Each structure stands twice: as structure tokens, then as C-alpha cells.
Chain A
């Protein structure tokens, strides 16, 4: 880790001033930033500790009018929030499966959303696109954990935030403050596919601070993830869904998938299948199938295709029916 200076402001205004310098980084839980710094993937000259800024903390609102999460809210607070558990099971399920108790105590909503990809080529110092001598290391190498969508491009890593997937399914927005003032964007707009090395996959600019996440009232929502370990591990793929129902009929659907693309992957194909239909496990399966139609896996991750089909189907069933056909007992 390179040496840096450190400040712990108590207000957002002060934090923004401190973040205004070149190569400054906001530090919240530290679980991502400090790992990157130790690996010399990110070497900030100044670290601004924002986790304890009071205006960035807390969960407010209710299921009817929607809820607001302060960006510095630890993930453990979401897990312990019964209102969230009831209104936004997709968010609750996604959050309670993140990392471990230690990780959830440390990590924050903002930090999770703005964490950098776990791609092992990126973390080894080969850049976000993992290129060496003009060749994609990812394409030629071990891409078992990489993308299956938009793989004709250069960005083959997968977006690392499962929280983002749940929040996008819930149609959440984010408040971002910076030197130019405050802006509100959809959570999905926090992410983009970088077109060249050096371009970030995040749209939050240096010097800006994500301050709040606003979640509107939700329909029937849920999440499902597949992973290798039961203990602390990353999802291999995961899906969060949110269905607005009119009677038995699905009037609006949001289906978002983790682990398949450099951005949280909104599956409009799956959503199209769902809208206007009465929910049934068969319809859920159809949506899962539609979700992977455009998948073009890399050399080592074709397994993600059936897995993705499954997690979409199961997230839908879980959202509407609670318990699923795959659960024992």
C-alpha cells in the first residue's frame, strides 16, 4: 500500500472539499479500497473517511412511500431492518448473503455499489480490460468467472455488486453530490461499460460522493443466487426481480442479473416474457430461458448459461410464491 494522507471529515461538505484534490479516494468500510491499495491496483494520495458522517447514515421511510438508505449505512443495518425484510425481500436476501458478518458490519451501501470489479486480471494489475500486448488475457485465459453477455466487446469482467442488482430491480435511485452540486440518477445509471482501458465502469466522477439511495414502493420482489461455497463467497450468478401485479397478471417486470456482464444486467428479454402474463412456474421458466438467449459465453463459462436460466426462474418463483420447488422440507 502506498502512503497516503488521511482525513475524517464530519460533514458531506467538508468531505467534498477534501475529495476535490487529485487522486483522492473516499473510504467507507475499507473492504474493497484497502484490498486494492494493498495490491497497488489503486494508490490514492489522500483517503477521506466518510463512514461516520452522520448525514450519510440511516434508513428512513416505509414500504408505502419508499425508503431511503444513507450511503454510509452498514450492510448489517439492512439485514437487521425488519421493514426492509418485509418490503424489499430482494434487497434483504441479496444483502444477507454478501460476504460475512465482518464484511457486512464494515461495508456500506455506497461502498458496495461503488466497489470495483473482482476480476482477477484487474486485481493482478492488468487493468480493467485485462489486456496485455493488445491481447485480451481474459479471452485467452481463465474466464470462468467472467461475462456471458456482450462478450464481443473488450469489457469481460462482471460487475461486483449484488446489492446493485437488487436495487436496480427495485427501481432505486441514487443521490450523488459533487462540486457541481447534487444529481439524482437511477442506480443502473451508476454503471457503464468501459470502452477503453482507463475508462471507469462507474459514472460517479472523482470528487463526487454518493450520498443516498432511494427505493420506491415495490411489487413482489425477491432474489436468488448460486454460489460454490455456502460460507463467505461471491455469487457465481444471481438474479433479483420485481413484479408489479394487477390481480394475477404481471403488469410490470424488472429482472436484473448479477455475474453475467460488466454492468448489472437488466434482462429486457425476460421482462417481455413476463409482462401481461399470469404468473406460474412455467412462465418463470420461460422468462429464465428468454434471459439467456443473447448469452455468448467465453471459453470457460458456458456453465453460467443454465445457471443464469435457473436463478432468474427461481428468483421469480421466490418473489411470487415464497418457497420454491427446489427447497427441501
Chain B
């Protein structure tokens, strides 16, 4: 039974916490930053599932135990996807900024409207 080093676990905890915190902000740019950091956190989590971190998963080098290539492949995919998502969010943020002159997540008006429906009911 092997577990990842506690240092890296702590790093994952910090990355997730900061990512979540930024995600909970109203500023769209900070939300984008939060997504980027969460992407790092997820990649690091993937890496930590490897039991024994040793040589790179290349068969050309010296013989010996190699790292688990599957989490790496998944993380590689995730990195590129995160890049795509980040650029999309940036475009979205830019769009909101153009329309609103405001770099903030707007409140969902439809939700507000539904919420307001119930108010007369309560008063009567």
C-alpha cells in the first residue's frame, strides 16, 4: 500500500481551495482564473494516483520501473481541454464586458422572476 506524499496532497488541497474560492467570485476574470487553477488541481490529482513515481514512461531509456502512463495521458488530454475551455470562457467574459461594460457574473434574471412569483402568495 502506497500513498502519495503528504506534501503533494497539501498542494492539491490548496489548489482546490483557491480554485473554488476564485470560482465563487463575481468577477468573470477571477472565475476564469479559478477554472485554470482547478484544471491544475485536477491534473495534479490525476498524477497522484500513480503509486510509484519513477522513470518517465518511455521504453527507450534504461530498463526499470516506469511511471503509470495512463494518468499522464488523461492529464495531457485534460490540459488541452482546459486550454480550450479557458479560451472559450475568455471570449464569453469579453462578450459580457462588451454588452454590459461590467466584468461581473450577472444574476440570473429568470430565477429572480420565479422567486418573485411567490411573494404575493406569502403576503396574502
A, B: real partners: no
Interface residues of A (CB under 8 A from B): none
- Chain B residues packing against A (C-beta within 8 Å): none
